[in-house]
Amino acid sequence: MIRLSDDETGMLAGASGPAAALSMRVILAAARIQGAGRLIPIASAHVDSCLYHGPSSLDFARALLSGGGRVRVPTTLNVGGLDRSRPDLFAGPASHGEAARQLMDSYVEMGCQPTFTCAPYQLPGRPAPGTDVAWAESNAIVFGNSMIGLRTSRYGDLIDICAAITGRVPYAGLHIPENRAARAIFTVEQDALSRVDEDLLPALLGHHIGRRTGTLIPALDGLQAIAVTEDWGKAFGAAAASSGGVAMFHILGATPEAPDLAAATQGKPPVLTERVSGADLMAAHRELTTGAPGARLGGVSIGTPHLSAQQLARLAAQLADRQVRVPTYATTSRFVIGSDPAAAQRLEAAGVTIIRDTCTYFQPDIIDPGAMVMTNSAKWAYYAPAMLGCTVILASQSDCIESAVSGEITLSGRHG
């Protein structure tokens, strides 16, 4: 039995229009599945439904639009199917590109902001810790819960826009403070820290821990000497959310809900306790590397999830005034480019293709399917072989850039 407020009952009855009523029915179906007793208001939403999956994506958006669908809370949009500023990069069927464009426009028409980024936490105006929000996109969910202390369950396509239109979500999952406790404790050994390039450490740790923990919330101990920056948390979370179902993590002494072990676990005994060794991270590296050094380098892909302003500037500084010799892609958002246009111009002058509004692995024609591609992203390494057909070498950003400049796979040795 789900208790509804007068406002919610009104929406269900159609007082706010057919789209709000439709959205409320979808939210209530989810609430029944989750066993929620009530709905709660959200402060904002991040919507992934703007990525085209077929004609039904447009059918759903048009049903909402024709029913007067307008978002009730500030809503950002995840990546779409193409880079709106570079239509020339979309080499798929024209009808598919047109549908992807129409879908992105439909969500803007509903009042969503045309942010088109998988990293909404890099946009201005992010909510305060403890705020209930409805975020879709696995890396955004895990970052919001873990690094900011937002409260969001694992929302996905279709329900995300319903939450934005109604301003409501079921009171369930990670909205409930008791459900945010760490249930698995991973102690990272010193040898794991010393054997791995610091740029790759969060990606490899995230991949390993995602595999081991499944959907249990992990807490990491032993990282007190590491500077857990937002970019570190982003790489770790994206990797863990790809290899496992991780929607939240704690890093003892670093993340907002984990000043110490007792706070992270809320005093509950863990159901899993493990140590993480250097050998575990080497194995993670082997698992994510499907290409062999010595093969021809077909390209370099950096920026999954979207580069932050700091990462964009660092990339431009690493390239300095050199030219890349193989197709090199840097993926980020319109907002980040707008915040540092000089860095973006330097990258383009060096021959780097900047992709915004989308992700390279939704652009199957920009990378030769027979190629071997270098990336520093565990998430890209995880998905790209199946989506693009290419093989992958996971390497530090420095190795990726030096390889792009030399045109040959160049590994500095301590790559895991």
Of positions 47, 110, 118, 136, contacts other proteins by CB under 8 A? 136
Q: Which residue, 36 or 316, has its beta carbon nearer to other proteins?
A: 36
- Is 215 a residue that touches other proteins (CB under 8 A)? yes
342 versus 386: smaller Cβ distance to other proteins: 386
Among the candidate windows 21-29, 310-318, 335-343, 369-377, which touches other proteins by CB under 8 A?
21-29
| Residues contacting other proteins: total by CB under 8 A | 34
Name which position in 45, 159, 300, 359 contacts other proteins (CB under 8 A).
Answer: 159
Distance from C-alpha of 354 to C-alpha of 336, rounded to nearest angstrom:
12
Nearer to other proteins, 215 or 412 (CB): 215
DSSP-assigned states of every residue in 340-395:
-HHHHHHHHHTTPEEEESS-GGG-TTSS-TT-EEEES-HHHHHHHHHHH--EEEE-
Q: Which of residues 384-403 bind other proteins (CB under 8 A)?
A: 386-387
**Region binding other proteins by CB under 8 A among candidate stretches 51-59, 115-123, 269-277, 323-331:** 51-59
- What does the DSSP assignment read for 124-164? SSPPPTT-B-EEBSHHHHHHIIIII--B---B-TTHHHHHH
Handedness of CA 397, 398, 403, 409 (dihedral sign): negative
Q: Closer to other proteins by CB, 305 or 327: give it.
A: 305
DSSP output for 183-205: -EEEEEPHHHHHHS-TTTHHHHH
SS3 assignment, position 226 = coil
CB of 227 to other proteins, least distance (A): 31
Q: Which is nearer to other proteins, 154 or 346 (CB)?
A: 154
Residue 48 in contact with other proteins, rule: CB under 8 A: yes
Pick between residue 30 and residue 73 the one whose CB is nearest to other proteins. Answer: 30
Write down how long the chain is. Answer: 416
Q: How many CA atoms lie less than 13 Å away from 349 in the CB half-sphere?
A: 12
Least spacing, CB of residue 388 vs other proteins, in Å: 12
Binding mask 166-205 for other proteins (x = CB under 8 A): ----------------------------------------
Closest separation in Å from C-beta 387 to other proteins: 7
The verdict on 99 binding other proteins (CB under 8 A) reads no
- Count of CB atoms situated within 10 Å of the CB of 83: 25
Question: Which residue ranges make up the site for other proteins (CB under 8 A)?
Answer: 22, 25-26, 29-30, 32-35, 48-49, 51, 53-57, 59-60, 63, 136-138, 154-159, 215, 245, 383, 386-387
